[in-house]
């Protein structure tokens, strides 16, 4: 019999009850529900709302349920239990008697599930923090291990200017650092106490919501009872942060997939993070990178699903909101798994430095430096751009590179060229010329690495 059955003369069919239940998903929140119930019971006892004896019996009963989860004796009954909240209350009452029925004093499932979901979201954010921190450490290690490797930088997937491989890896470090910040904001939004809002309007019992928050280690209380039970913005924050992080992973995976092709051959993937073909013996496929790229779609879908779920709901609680938890669980666990996959894969890649540097010398990647050379000698940059563009066109017709031009070839294009131009056309000179803050020169990247390591240390303080 349902705990709310008093008003009803008939019960939903078995199918309808199964359709309306959320027990399977709610099992992911059992620890949160036990912790929230214990804090609520302590507060009820301290406030004199229930007797100290009942409060103690409830706490001991909840602790016993917690132990039964670990020894395998905890069992829910899908035929009776709609959700984890009712399952725990039923088992508690069966075990300790009438005192168990007093646990729900001054609260509703509406504020109870809001608390559980918030605590679940905070715990999911904590797992993502750890996975992000692990990946960030791998990116820094790659940047340090291959700090002298030059590769082509691209725009429109065309050779643009040479950059250091370490500079490229650090670009992803800063992407994921922003993801860390977004996850942190989602965590901060989740860790506010809704308990005490009851169904929607608060309660007439002399509860102390701040005491419950303090007991659970939450920094504050949601000030509006309607908002407390109807808000799921914290899940939107979490799923948005997950979707953006997955998008960043997908971009990195796309490059790994391209770089591991025979056409690029910039990197070699470890056997442990590759698969073969059932028909072609020679194949070594980047399946794990492709899977991460593919899983991005489901996480974006989780975010869109929650946005659509919430868009038409009037205040306060609506049964639609039962559907909010699965997407958040899926998005967060998918992201955590993908971050760990990426960290493991990147930690063992082989960087083919000679191939990268040879590619960096192709595609006229020194052209901007040649134009800058003329501009520094007084030629307007737009005119210099025109001059160098014609030089590139001439080189293409002759099948040579800018570095193959003689001083006579260059002077024919502009008298401003002098013999010092010849030492600036190799890719390493082009890289080392980029000394601006955040640039790709060795000195600039070394400075950026210091900032990145400081940022990683800040992340560690949250992870630990």
Please identify every residue annotated as catalytic. Answer: 156, 277
Report how far Cα 120 is from the mean position of its chain's Cα atoms: 16
CA-CA distance, 183 to 213, in Å (whole number)? 21
3-state secondary structure of 13: coil
Q: Are 429 and 435 within 8 A, CB to CB?
A: no
**Cα separation, 216 vs 209, whole angstroms:** 11
Instruction: For residue 163, give the H/E element and its range.
Output: strand 158-164
Q: Tokens 């990178």 map to which residue?
A: 289
Spatial distance between the Cα atoms of 151 and 95, rounded to a whole number of angstroms: 67
- Alpha-carbon span 81 to 61, nearest angstrom: 18
Ramachandran quadrant class, 346 (left: phi over 0; alpha: psi -120 to 50; beta: rest): alpha
From the CB of residue 195, how many other CB atoms can be counted at a distance below 10 Å? 29
Judge contact between 26 and 326, C-beta under 8 A. Answer: no
Q: What are phi and psi of 326, to 5 degrees?
A: -60, -45
Cis status of the peptide bond prior to 367, with omega within 30 of 0: no
Q: What DSSP assignment string belongs to 102-159?
A: GTTTT--HHHHHHHHHHHHHHHHHHHHHHHHHHHHHHHHHHHHHTTT-EEEEEETTEE
H or E stretch at 193: strand 192-193
Q: Rounded distance, CA 369 to CA 163, Å?
A: 13
Instruction: Report DSSP state, residue 285.
Output: B
Alpha carbon distance 298, 288 (integer Å): 16
Say how many CA atoms lie within 13 Å of 19 toward its Cβ.
Answer: 6
Please give the Cα distance from 159 to 170 (Å, whole number).
19
Cα–Cα distances (Å) from 327 to 184, 206, 236, 335, 421, in that order, read 19, 36, 10, 12, 58
C-beta of residue 74 within 8 angstroms of C-beta of residue 68: yes
CA 253 to chain CA mean position, Å:
15
């Amino acid at each position: 019999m349902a705990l709310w059955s008093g008003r009803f003369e008939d019960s939903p069919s078995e199918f309808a009850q199964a359709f309306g239940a959320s027990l399977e998903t709610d099992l992911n929140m059992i620890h949160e529900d036990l912790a929230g119930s214990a804090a609520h019971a302590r507060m009820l006892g301290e406030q004199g709302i229930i007797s100290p004896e009942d409060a103690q019996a409830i706490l001991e009963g909840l602790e016993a349920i917690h132990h039964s989860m670990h020894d395998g004796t905890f069992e829910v009954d899908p035929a009776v239990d709609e959700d984890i909240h009712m399952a725990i209350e039923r088992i508690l009452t069966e075990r300790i008697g009438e005192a168990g029925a007093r646990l729900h004093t001054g609260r509703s499932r509406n504020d109870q599930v809001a608390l559980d979901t918030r605590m679940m979201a905070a715990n999911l954010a904590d797992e993502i923090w750890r996975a992000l921190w692990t990946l960030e450490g791998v990116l820094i290690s790659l940047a340090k291990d291959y700090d002298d490797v030059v590769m082509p930088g691209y725009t429109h997937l065309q050779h643009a200017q040479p950059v250091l491989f370490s500079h490229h890896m650090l670009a992803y470090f800063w992407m994921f650092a922003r993801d860390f910040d977004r996850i942190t904001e989602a965590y901060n939004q989740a860790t506010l106490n809704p308990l005490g809002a009851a169904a929607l309007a608060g309660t007439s019992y002399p509860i102390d919501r701040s005491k419950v928050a303090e007991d659970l280690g939450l920094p504050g209380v949601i000030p509006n009872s309607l908002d407390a039970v109807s808000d799921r913005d914290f899940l939107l924050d979490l799923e948005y942060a997950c979707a953006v992080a997955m998008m960043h992973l997908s971009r990195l995976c796309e490059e790994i997939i391209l770089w591991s092709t025979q056409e690029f051959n910039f990197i070699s993937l470890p056997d442990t993070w590759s698969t073969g073909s059932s028909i072609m013996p020679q194949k070594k496929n980047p399946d794990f990178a492709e899977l991460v790229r593919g899983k991005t779609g489901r996480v974006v879908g989780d975010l869109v699903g929650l946005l659509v779920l919430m868009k038409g709901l009037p205040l306060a609680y609506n049964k639609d909101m039962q559907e909010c938890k699965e997407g958040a669980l899926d998005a967060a666990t998918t992201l955590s798994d993908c971050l760990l996959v990426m960290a493991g894969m990147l930690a063992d890649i082989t960087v083919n430095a000679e191939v990268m540097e040879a590619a960096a010398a192709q595609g006229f990647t020194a052209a901007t430096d040649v134009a800058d050379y003329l501009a520094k000698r007084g030629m307007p940059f737009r005119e210099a751009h025109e001059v160098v563009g014609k030089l590139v066109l001439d080189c293409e017709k002759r099948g040579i590179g800018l570095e193959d031009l003689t001083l006579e070839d260059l002077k024919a294009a502009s008298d401003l060229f002098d013999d010092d131009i010849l030492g600036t056309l190799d890719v390493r000179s082009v890289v080392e010329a980029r000394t601006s803050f955040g640039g790709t020169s060795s000195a600039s990247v070394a400075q950026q690495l210091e900032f990145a390591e400081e940022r990683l240390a800040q992340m560690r303080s949250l992870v630990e």
